[in-house]
Structure 1
Amino acid sequence: MNRIVIENCAVATVDAHDTAYASGHVVVAGNRIESVGSGRAPEDLEDVVRRVDGTGHLVTPGLVNTHHHFYQWLTRGLAQDCKLFDWLVALYPVWARIDERMVHAAARGSLAMMVRGGVTTAMDHHYVFPRGAGDLLGAEIRAAHEMGVRFTAARGSMDLGASDGGLPPDFAVETTEDALAATEQAIDTHHDGSFDAMLQIAVAPCSPFSVSTELLREAAALARRKGVRLHTHGSETVEEEKFCHERFGIGPTDYFKSTGWLGEDVWMAHCVHMNDADIRAFARTGTGVAHCPSSNARLAAGIARVPDMLAEGLPVGLGVDGTASNESGELHTELRNALLINRLGPHREKALTTRQALRLATYGGAHVLGRQDQIGSLEAGKLADLVLWKLDGLGHSSIEDPVAALVLGAAAPVTLSLVGGRPVVESGRLLTADEEEIARDARSEARRLARIAAQS
């Protein structure tokens, strides 16, 4: 096997013991990590095609994004001062006009921003399927393949349009039967359950207030019959809590339990408004959480109880969320925001450490996606998804602790990012796509969407 050697750098493995080396090495053989250790790599290794001098750098596992909505790349900066429900009311009429070309451009923009910033495994929750819009899920899958990133495509759905008390226009939702059939077809066509998988499918009805109880129940049964994971939004706002009590007579967590939506194969986005009993229910069942601190702040949703979740043993990862509620579109800034925002809560300075923040973005995310045996830490035998961060420049050189520099400092430049041993970023630039062309295309499609929405 061809080998890539990265050496003379600080190493944060994020393994079970948080093993770290002030100066160490990582050897990649093919698409796997062959060895990780202190000091320089052995000089007598065979088939070395590249040696990277990592002086002044930190190598970590690649970042894992656990919640996103790629299509929102085309509607950034709108509804700037709204809470979630008002924001949805403002934007659903626009989102209902998306088509395949728009979604492909938006997915490329979203992915390019994340990959350039150290993401090696991306996830997207796409649930808006207007009639006649084309193959929207396929557009995202093509974009991820072009970018060279590992991808979990959560095939979302909504079956409650405006006439049934939902928020989106009726033509932007599906029937329950059509949503389930399309989701099953997506699994059968695209899901890869292998160790090396670059593409996996999850079953993902949107939220308790946009889907029927029947769709939730049947989607859970479908996912378990097919052996794939389940994803949705949960406990995001006080309005959702009120909605569930008024509609179902119970809170969101109990409602999810009644529909089969708690378990080790489930993860939910946000989970901001959870009480002690909710957190214990997630812990008992192994249900995971995608923590989206910037989006929660942008929409004034609140502060998720991440320290309490971690103390109870919940799997917790980080999510960018859609870029209409997190315009930066970057996951590496979420490490800093997760730490800072959680320190505003009751645990104050004890809420999260820099190493916990890094774990959320790497191993935690892998665990949430059910891929902790394959990615999320630098260990021999795992897939070679890793990032070499430059920390000897102006923004970081005076911070002695490299993990603190990465988490607390400015966004660190990416010198090298590998996905399955293949370089996707070098010296801060994408290798798999033209950033300027992506930006032009996204701007053009954003303007086209705005024109169509204005004429509707």
Structure 2
Amino acid sequence: MSGHQVTVISGATVVTMDQERHEYPVGHVVVDGGRVRSVSPGPYVGTRDDVEVIDATGCVVTPGLVNTHHHLYQWATRGYAVDATLFEWLTELYPIWGNLDEDIIRRAGAAAIGQLARSGCTTVMDHHYVFPRDGGDLLGAEIAAAAEVGVRFFATRGSMDLGESDGGLPPDHVVESIDEILRGTAAAIDRHHDPSPDSLVRVGVAPCSPFSVTADLLREAAALARDRGVRLHTHVAETVDEEDFCRERFGQSPIDYMESLGWLGPDVWFAHGIHFDDNAIRTLARTGTGVAHCPSSNARLGAGICRTRDLLDAGVPVGLGVDGAASNEATSLLEEARHALLFARATGGPTALGVRQALEAATLGGARLLGWDDQIGSLEPGKQADIAVWRTDTMAHAGIADPVAGLVLGTPPPLELSLVAGRPLVRKGRLARVDEATLAAGAAEASTRIEHPPRVLPRV
């Protein structure tokens, strides 16, 4: 699978997620030059010497999964505060996160991205908002980690400027001034953002949350993003505590507060969105603002269950997010599709979310949130060849009547192959471009160093 050779994935059930939602019980996908050339029913028939045919009999082919909310650095702090509320969890972890540096980010980020890739994820979004002084180029480190593993990457330059001394939640030593944040964000866009059709890296603007940033920062961040033509992201309506904070401090609900600051629109998506009332959902729909649903993290922190069915019925764009590994140690994007379906049905009945709707949220829905749906999220001629090939003829899945139901409701099947722009990312369940043992060792080192950073002796 190199050079200009044409690659054909043949004999699988193909789930396209195209406009007509075509599915082929037996079909094939032709990949040429990093893009999908065609998607057709039936096995591939051809004799050209420059065509590599991959026999995918017994597999299901889908678009590569798209993660829309994550914190890669948290791979270094898994297993902390396991029985805590969100605010308790943050209070315990903020001081530890204050020890982040480039090396920790690179090691932890590579392992986290690798695990996401092994769960079928081909596009990784990250929300990095902790920038300790003297930590180095943290955003550059995670972008390098993404390139090493081989995923498509949407980096957001996050920020916090409301520390404890000003009534915020984070300790003062992990917040920045507005001027520092705006300079750092503009520099990240200038250095890393690639808006071209073949882009592997894009950058967005992402102040952390209403309880860790000021209104001035939110206004100026929105203005910067729109001036540079990039997207906006933050946490909103994750907990009842946040609702209380906004009403006590600003006299408004979280969604009304964000609207007053210019933070709604088709270029904006919010993480979590659990505690939206009917008026808030109508406002999101009216403005085209999206929601990254993170069911496993929400459950791990006891934050609540997103009103997914109501959001979709109103026309709100919905994608899925794994969220940081410190609140979702499993870090499996395919599991998020399953949990999104189960939680929706647990609260809304058996028709609250279908298996294909859950898979759509994990693919095309996520691409739409990132503003990348013209290139990824479905298998269509001309789109990027970001593809997942799932083996469904093993004991766990053989004989399941509906292969999409097997994929979403069953145990996550082995990932036979995944491609990003036509290049292998995973082969037979293993990362294709990096050594997994090396990533594991790096992750262990990062976890040790963030808890016990090397002592810096004073200069004499």
Q: TM-score, normalised by structure 2?
A: 0.97
Is the 1:93–1:453 contact (alpha carbons within 8 Å) kept by the matching residues of 2?
Answer: no
Is the 1:68–1:319 contact (alpha carbons within 8 Å) kept by the matching residues of 2?
Answer: yes
Matched, 1:15 2:23: no
1:362 aligned residue: 363
Matched, 1:422 2:423: yes
The one-character-per-residue Cα deviations of 1:337-380 (angstroms, maximum 9, x if unpaired) are: 111111111x2111111100100000000000001111000111
The one-character-per-residue Cα deviations of 1:188-220 (angstroms, maximum 9, x if unpaired) are: 111000111100000000000000000000000
1:146 aligned residue: 148
Cα displacement (A) at 1:41: 2.1
The one-character-per-residue Cα deviations of 1:233-288 (angstroms, maximum 9, x if unpaired) are: 01100011111111111100010101110000000100000011101111111101
- Equivalent runs, 1:187-202 vs 2, <5 Å: 187-202=189-204
2:272 aligned residue: 270
2:9 aligned residue: 6
Runs of at least 5 residues in structure 1 that lack an aligned partner in the other structure: none
| Of 241, 244, 256, the match for 2:243 | 241
- Equivalent runs, 1:215-234 vs 2, <5 Å: 215-234=217-236
Give secondary structure in 2 for the equivalent of 1:343: helix
C-alpha separation in 2, matches of 1:46 and 1:338: 44
Cα displacement (A) at 1:17: 2.0
| Of 98, 101, 104, the match for 1:102 | 104
- What amino acid maps onto 1:412 in structure 2? P
2:44 aligned residue: 41
C-alpha separation in 1, matches of 2:334 and 2:149: 18
1:440 aligned residue: 441
Runs of at least 5 residues in structure 2 that lack an aligned partner in the other structure: none
1:165 aligned residue: 167
- Equivalent runs, 1:291-440 vs 2, <5 Å: 291-345=293-347, 347-440=348-441
- What amino acid maps onto 2:243 in structure 1? E
Give secondary structure in 1 for the equivalent of 2:274: coil
- What amino acid maps onto 2:145 in structure 1? A
Give secondary structure in 2 for the equivalent of 1:350: coil
CA RMSD of aligned residues (A): 1.3
The one-character-per-residue Cα deviations of 1:417-452 (angstroms, maximum 9, x if unpaired) are: 000000111100101111111101111120121223
The one-character-per-residue Cα deviations of 1:7-50 (angstroms, maximum 9, x if unpaired) are: 111010011222100000000011110000100224155631x2
Is the 1:32–1:420 contact (alpha carbons within 8 Å) kept by the matching residues of 2?
Answer: yes
Shifted more, 168-177 versus 215-224: the winner is 168-177
| Of 136, 142, 149, the match for 1:134 | 136
Is the 1:97–1:453 contact (alpha carbons within 8 Å) kept by the matching residues of 2?
Answer: no
1:24 aligned residue: 27
Is the 1:94–1:453 contact (alpha carbons within 8 Å) kept by the matching residues of 2?
Answer: no
Cα displacement (A) at 1:453: 10
C-alpha separation in 1, matches of 2:48 and 2:36: 14
C-alpha separation in 1, matches of 2:367 and 2:305: 23
C-alpha separation in 2, matches of 1:263 and 1:324: 30
C-alpha separation in 2, matches of 1:361 and 1:314: 15
- What amino acid maps onto 1:439 in structure 2? A
Shifted more, 325-334 versus 164-173: the winner is 164-173
Seen in structure 2, the aligned counterparts of structure 1 residues 117 and 80 have a Cα distance that, compared at 3 Å, is same
Give secondary structure in 2 for the equivalent of 1:98: coil
Cα displacement (A) at 1:454: 12
Q: Percent of counterpart pairs with the same letter? A: 57
- What amino acid maps onto 2:139 in structure 1? L
C-alpha separation in 1, matches of 2:106 and 2:175: 20
Cα displacement (A) at 1:398: 2.6
C-alpha separation in 2, matches of 1:290 and 1:53: 35
- What amino acid maps onto 1:158 in structure 2? M
C-alpha separation in 2, matches of 1:454 and 1:169: 21
C-alpha separation in 1, matches of 2:27 and 2:214: 53
| Of 110, 122, 125, the match for 2:124 | 122
The one-character-per-residue Cα deviations of 1:86-112 (angstroms, maximum 9, x if unpaired) are: 111111111111111111111001100
Give secondary structure in 1 for the equivalent of 2:440: helix
Shifted more, 445-454 versus 263-272: the winner is 445-454
C-alpha separation in 1, matches of 2:403 and 2:32: 26
C-alpha separation in 1, matches of 2:172 and 2:342: 40
Q: TM-score, normalised by structure 1?
A: 0.98
Seen in structure 2, the aligned counterparts of structure 1 residues 20 and 454 have a Cα distance that, compared at 3 Å, is farther
Is the 1:96–1:168 contact (alpha carbons within 8 Å) kept by the matching residues of 2?
Answer: no
C-alpha separation in 2, matches of 1:81 and 1:395: 32
- What amino acid maps onto 1:238 in structure 2? V
Is the 1:92–1:167 contact (alpha carbons within 8 Å) kept by the matching residues of 2?
Answer: no
| Of 74, 87, 97, the match for 2:89 | 87
C-alpha separation in 2, matches of 1:47 and 1:140: 36
